C-alpha cells in the first residue's frame, strides 16, 4: 500500500470546484446587492440635494460609508437562505432558481429605493410606519394622491430598468461562474456552509463583535440630520418599524422613571395657581380651572393644512404668502413660538381638538383601541354644557377614522366631502377646495340655533399634495424660484380662502361673540433643519381672535406653546370654572415669567423626541442621547448646541416624566374629564343630508 504523497494531500485540501463556484456566485450576488443599495442612496441624495447643500463633504462621505453597513444588514439577511443551500449535494443548482429569487428580492429593494426619495423630501424621515399607515388608512386615496401628485410613470420606468439590469447581472454571474465537477463531500459542505453563515450572520447583525447589533442610532454621527439619515437604509428602517409594532408601545419610557416621580414632574409642568386637582388618586391631571370671562360665547377652531410658520409674514418671514392671515394677526393675539405636537394632520387633529399629546407608539391614536376613550377635549367639555357643535372638512371623515374618533368626543354635526352641492372644485384625491369648505362653513354657522352657544372645527385641505386648486387663481402664483413654489401657491390659496371666510362672516350677529382659534396642523420641511429634530416641520402659527383678546392680553406672546394648550386656553375664555384633564395649559393664565413648554415628536416610528422651553430645545435622539440647543425662529431658523448641564438635566426629567405619565394614563384608561360625553348621535347640517347611521352622503 502506497502512502499518499504531497500532491494527493493538497488535492484533498483544495476547495471542490462546484463549491467554489457557488461561493463565487454568492460573493457576486452580495456585490450586486450592495451596489444596488448604494445606488438608491445616491438617488436619495440627488433628489434631496437642497438638504445636503450645507453639509460638509466629509459628513456626506461618512454617511455613504456608514450606509454600507446598513446595506450589509439587508444583504446578509437575503443571502442566508441561499447560503443554507450549500448543504445540499447540488448546492446552488439550478442557478436559474436563485437568479429569479434574487431578482425578485432586488426588485423589492429597488421599489423602496425609488419611492423613498420623494417620501423623504416630504417628511424628512426614512421609510417607517408612516408609509404603512398611509397605505392602511385608505389605499385608494393614497394611490390617487401619488398618481396625481408625482411622476409615477417615470418612477415605474426607472424601477423596471434597474430591476432588469439587476436581473441581467445575476444571470451574467450564473453564466460566468458555472458549477462544474462532482458534488463536494458532506464535510466540505458543512464546513463551508458554517463559515458562510457566520460571516453572513455578522453582516445581518451589522457587526462581527459580541454585543448589540447595528441600530439606527448608529447612523447619527454628525450635527446634520440629513447626513445622519442618509446613512440609514429605507428597507432597514421600514422593517424595524414593522417589528416594533407590538402592544408593548412606549415601554422604554415607562421604565425610564418611576411612576411617582414622573407624575410629580408632569404636575409641576402643567398645574398653575388657577388649578385645583380633582380625584388625584384616580386621574393624574384632572383639575378644576378658574376661567376668565372675555365676553366670548362661541369657539371656532380653524385648523390650516401644512400652514408652516416659516412662511407666515406675521411671524417675520417675507414673501407675501399669507397676506390675509397677517391682516388677521393685526387684530388678535399671535403666539410666536408655537409648535405642532406632530408632523402629520392626524396628530394635529387629536392634539388640537382632543387635547392629548403625540406619544411614542401612539402616533395614530385615532385608529387605535386606546383612542376610544373620551378625551378631555373641546367636544367633551362643551357638549354637556348645552353647546351646539359643527365640524366642517373638505374631505371624507372616514380618513384617519375621524368620524369614529370625533363622534366619540362630543361631535354630532359633521359636514364632509359628500355633503357639498356643486362645489367649485372637487379634487379626485382629497375633496373640495378650501373656498368651498369655508363657504359651506359660513352657511352652517349662521344656521345654528341662535339661542345656544356653539363650538366648531373647520379644517382646510387644499395645501396638500397634489395641490389641485381652482382655476383661474385669484392671485399670481408664487414665483420664488424655489422647488416649493407649487406648495407655497397652495398655501397662499388657503390663506386667500381664509380671508374670504372672514369677509363673509364679519357681519353675522354671532361674530362679535365668537373666539376664533387659528392654527396650523403642522409645518413642512425646509433645507435648514437646524437641530436633530426637524424644527420647521413643527413651527406653526397660532392666533386668537375674539372679543377683548388683544386689548386684555396684547398683540404677541413669546411663550412656548403647542396644540395641546389650545382647548384649555379657548375654554378658559368662556368664564366660570371647568373641570378638565388637558395635557396643556391655559396660556392666558400663566405668570409673566413662565417661558412655556412644548413636547414634540415626528410622525411614524421615528423615535426622536424633544422638549422646548423658552429659547432652548432638548432633543432626545433615537439612541437615547440628549442634546441641548439654543434656537431662533425668525428671521431665519437657526440653532446652536449649548453646554448647560443643569438645564439639560432639568429638561430631560421634564420630558421623561411628561411622556411617561401620559403613556400610563392612556394605557390605564385615565385620560377623560369628569364630565360625561354627549350622546354619539350625528346628523349633517341644514344644507346636507345623512343616512340613518349618521354617515354623510350626497
pLDDT tens, position by position, 396-413: 888 877 887 888 888 999
Q: Are residues 377 and 489 both part of a single domain?
A: yes
The verdict on 411 and 551 lying in the same domain is: yes
Q: Domain for residue 3, yes or no? A: no
**What share of the chain has pLDDT > 90, as a percent?**
63
**What string of DSSP letters covers 287-336?**
EEEE--B-S--EEEEEEETT--GGG-GGGT--SSS-HHHHHHHTTSEEES
pLDDT higher than 80, residue 129:
no
Q: How far apart are CA 192 and CA 199, in angstroms?
A: 11
In a domain, 413, yes or no: yes
What pLDDT does 685 receive? 43
State residue 678's pLDDT score: 37
Residues 69 and 112 both lie in one domain:
yes
What average pLDDT does range 52-58 have in this prediction? Answer: 87
Quickly state the pLDDT bin for 509 (edges 50, 70, 90).
very high
Mean pLDDT along residues 96-106: 96
Phi and psi, residue 244, nearest 5° = -85, -5
pLDDT of residue 416: 93
Cβ contact 292:549 at 8 Å: no
Q: What percent of the chain has pLDDT over 70?
A: 91
Range of weakest confidence among 261-275, 388-402, 597-611, 679-693: 679-693
From 181-185, 369-373, 464-468, 529-533, the region with the lowest mean pLDDT = 181-185
Give the end of a domain, one of 215, 244, 273: 244
Region 39-58: mean pLDDT is 90
Question: Does residue 147 surpass a pLDDT of 80?
Answer: no
Q: How many domains does the chain have?
A: 2
Determine contact, residues 180/21, Cβ cutoff 8 Å. Answer: yes
pLDDT, tens digit, 9 for 90 and up, residues 444-499 = 999 999 999 999 999 999 998 889 999 999 999 999 867 789 999 999 999 999 99
Alpha helices in 554-625 (DSSP H): 566-571
384 to each of 377, 380, 454, 579, how far by Cα in Å? 12, 7, 12, 12
Q: Are residues 301 and 444 in the same domain?
A: yes
Dump pLDDT digits (tens) for 570-591.
Answer: 999 998 889 999 999 999 999 9
Contact 293, 575 (CB under 8 A): yes
Is there a domain that residue 435 lies in? Answer: yes
Q: What is the pLDDT of residue 440?
A: 97
- Give the residue-averaged pLDDT of 19-27: 91
195 inside domain: yes
Question: Looking at the whole model, is its pTM more than 0.85?
Answer: no
In Å, what is the CA distance from 25 to each residue of 71, 75, 304?
19, 14, 56
Strand partners, 393: 459
Shared domain check, 134 and 30: yes
Query: Which spans in 245-280 are helix H?
Result: 251-256, 259-270
Which of 571, 691, 561, 36 lies closest to 299, judged by CA? 571
d(CA 155, CA 150): 9
Domain of 284, CATH number, reads: 3.40.720.10
Q: Which of 218, 244, 270 is the last residue of a domain?
A: 244
Residues 402 and 542 grouped into a single domain:
yes
Task: Provide the terminal-to-terminal Cα distance of the chain, rounded to the nearest Å.
Answer: 98
Check whether 682 has a pLDDT greater than 70: no
Same domain, 167 and 311: no
Mean pLDDT of 603-612: 88
Report if residue 2 sits inside a domain.
no
Mean pLDDT, the chain, rounded, equals 88
Mean pLDDT of 653-674: 90
6, pLDDT greater than 70: no
Structural domain range at position 78: 8-244
Asked whether the predicted pLDDT for residue 680 surpasses 50, the reply is: no
Name the domain boundary from 244, 264, 280: 244
Q: Is residue 1 part of a domain?
A: no
Most confidently modeled range among 38-47, 225-234, 421-430: 38-47
Same domain membership, residue 31 and residue 109: yes
- Label residue 683 by pLDDT band (50, 70, 90): very low
List strands edge to edge, sheet with 414-415. Answer: 414-415, 388-393, 454-459, 298-304, 514-520, 542-545, 333-335, 556-557
610: phi then psi, degrees, rounded to nearest 5: -155, 155
pLDDT tens digits, one per residue of 211-258: 678 877 678 777 787 888 899 999 988 887 776 555 567 788 999 999
User: What's the whole-number mean pLDDT along residues 379-392?
Assistant: 94
Residue 13: burial class (beta carbons within 10 Å; 0-12, 13-18, 19+) = exposed
CB proximity list for 491: less than 8 A, separation 6 or greater? 306, 307, 308, 311, 321, 322, 463
Together in a domain, 552 and 679: yes
Going by the DSSP 8-state scheme, the letter that residue 365 receives in this structure is G
pLDDT band (50, 70, 90) for residue 4? low
Q: What is the mean pLDDT of residues 336-347?
A: 95
Query: How confident is the model at residue 366, as a pLDDT?
Result: 87
Q: Does 468 map to a domain?
A: yes
* pLDDT at residue number 693: 33
What's the pLDDT score for residue 674? 57
Residues 169 and 296 in one domain: no
The answer to whether residue 201 sits within a structural domain is yes
Residues 263 and 289 in one domain: yes
Residue 438 has a pLDDT of 98
Q: Is 91 left (phi over 0), alpha (psi -120 to 50) or beta?
A: left
396 and 484: one domain?
A: yes
Q: Please give the C-alpha separations between residue 72 and each of 32, 76, 115, 214, 362, in angstroms, as whole numbers.
A: 11, 6, 21, 10, 31
CA 210 remoteness from chain centre: 34
Amino acid at each position: 500500500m502506497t502512502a499518499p504523497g504531497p500532491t494527493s494531500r493538497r488535492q484533498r485540501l483544495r476547495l471542490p470546484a462546484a463549491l467554489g463556484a457557488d461561493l463565487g456566485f454568492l460573493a457576486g450576488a452580495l456585490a450586486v446587492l450592495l451596489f444596488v443599495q448604494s445606488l438608491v442612496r445616491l438617488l436619495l441624495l440627488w433628489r434631496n440635494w437642497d438638504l445636503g447643500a450645507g453639509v460638509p463633504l466629509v459628513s456626506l462621505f461618512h454617511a455613504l460609508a456608514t450606509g454600507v453597513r446598513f446595506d450589509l444588514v439587508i444583504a446578509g439577511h437575503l443571502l442566508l437562505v441561499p447560503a443554507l443551500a450549500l448543504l445540499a449535494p447540488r448546492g446552488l443548482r439550478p442557478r436559474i432558481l436563485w437568479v429569479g429569487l434574487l431578482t425578485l428580492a432586488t426588485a423589492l429593494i429597488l421599489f423602496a429605493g425609488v419611492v423613498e426619495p420623494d417620501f423623504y423630501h416630504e417628511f424628512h424621515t426614512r421609510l417607517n410606519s408612516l408609509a404603512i399607515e398611509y397605505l392602511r388608512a385608505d389605499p385608494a386615496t393614497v394611490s390617487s394622491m401619488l398618481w396625481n401628485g408625482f411622476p409615477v410613470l417615470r418612477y415605474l420606468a426607472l424601477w423596471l430598468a434597474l430591476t432588469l439590469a439587476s436581473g441581467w447581472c445575476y444571470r451574467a454571474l450564473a453564466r460566468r461562474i458555472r458549477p462544474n465537477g462532482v458534488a463536494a463531500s458532506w464535510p466540505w459542505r458543512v464546513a463551508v456552509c458554517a463559515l458562510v453563515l457566520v460571516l453572513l450572520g455578522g453582516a445581518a447583525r451589522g457587526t462581527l463583535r459580541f454585543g448589540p447589533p447595528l441600530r439606527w442610532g448608529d447612523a447619527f454621527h454628525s450635527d446634520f440630520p440629513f447626513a445622519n439619515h442618509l446613512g440609514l437604509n429605507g428597507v432597514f428602517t421600514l422593517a424595524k418599524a414593522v417589528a416594533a409594532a407590538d402592544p408593548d408601545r412606549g415601554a422604554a419610557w415607562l421604565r425610564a422613571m418611576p411612576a411617582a416621580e414622573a407624575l410629580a414632574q408632569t404636575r409641576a409642568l402643567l398645574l398653575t395657581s388657577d388649578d385645583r386637582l380633582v380625584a388625584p388618586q384616580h386621574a393624574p391631571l384632572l383639575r378644576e380651572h378658574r376661567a376668565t370671562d372675555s365676553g366670548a360665547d362661541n369657539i371656532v377652531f380653524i385648523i390650516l393644512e401644512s400652514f408652516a410658520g416659516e412662511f407666515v409674514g406675521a411671524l417675520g418671514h417675507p414673501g407675501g404668502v399669507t397676506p390675509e392671515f397677517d391682516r388677521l394677526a393685526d387684530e388678535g393675539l399671535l403666539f410666536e413660538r408655537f409648535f405642532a405636537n406632530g408632523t402629520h394632520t392626524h396628530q394635529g387633529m387629536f392634539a388640537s381638538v382632543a387635547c392629548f399629546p403625540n406619544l411614542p407608539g401612539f402616533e395614530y391614536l385615532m385608529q387605535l383601541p386606546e383612542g376610544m376613550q373620551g378625551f378631555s377635549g373641546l367636544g367633551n367639555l362643551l357638549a354637556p354644557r348645552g353647546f351646539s357643535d359643527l365640524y366642517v372638512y373638505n374631505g371624507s371623515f372616514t380618513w384617519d377614522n375621524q368620524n369614529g374618533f370625533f363622534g366619540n368626543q362630543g361631535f354630532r354635526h359633521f359636514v364632509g366631502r359628500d355633503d357639498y352641492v356643486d362645489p367649485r372644485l372637487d379634487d379626485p384625491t382629497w375633496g373640495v377646495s378650501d373656498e368651498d369648505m369655508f363657504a359651506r362653513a359660513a352657511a352652517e354657522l349662521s344656521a345654528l340655533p341662535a339661542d345656544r352657544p356653539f363650538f366648531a372645527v373647520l379644517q382646510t385641505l387644499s395645501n396638500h399634495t397634489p395641490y389641485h386648486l381652482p382655476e383661474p387663481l385669484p392671485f399670481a402664483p408664487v414665483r420664488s424660484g424655489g422647488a416649493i413654489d407649487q406648495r407655497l401657491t397652495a398655501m397662499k390659496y388657503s390663506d386667500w380662502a381664509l380671508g374670504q371666510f372672514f369677509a363673509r362672516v364679519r357681519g353675522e350677529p354671532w361674530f362679535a361673540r365668537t373666539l376664533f382659534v387659528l392654527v396650523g396642523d403642522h409645518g413642512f420641511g425646509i433645507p435648514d433643519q437646524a437641530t436633530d429634530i426637524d424644527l420647521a416641520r413643527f413651527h406653526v402659527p397660532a392666533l386668537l381672535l375674539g372679543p377683548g383678546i388683544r386689548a386684555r392680553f396684547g398683540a404677541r406672546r413669546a411663550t412656548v406653546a403647542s396644540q395641546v394648550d389650545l382647548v384649555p386656553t379657548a375654554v378658559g375664555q368662556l368664564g366660570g370654572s371647568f373641570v378638565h384633564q388637558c395635557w396643556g395649559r391655559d396660556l392666558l393664565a400663566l405668570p409673566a415669567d413662565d417661558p412655556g413648554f412644548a413636547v414634540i415628536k415626528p410622525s411614524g416610528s421615528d423615535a426622536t423626541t424633544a422638549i422646548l422651553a423658552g429659547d432652548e430645545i432638548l432633543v432626545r435622539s433615537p439612541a437615547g442621547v440628549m442634546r441641548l440647543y439654543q434656537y431662533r425662529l425668525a428671521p431665519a431658523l437657526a440653532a446652536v448646541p449649548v453646554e448647560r448641564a443643569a438645564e439639560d438635566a432639568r429638561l430631560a426629567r421634564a420630558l421623561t416624566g411628561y411622556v411617561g405619565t401620559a403613556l400610563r394614563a392612556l394605557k390605564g384608561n385615565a385620560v377623560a374629564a369628569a364630565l360625561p360625553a354627549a350622546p354619539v348621535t350625528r346628523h349633517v347640517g341644514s344644507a346636507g343630508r345623512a343616512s340613518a347611521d349618521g354617515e354623510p352622503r350626497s
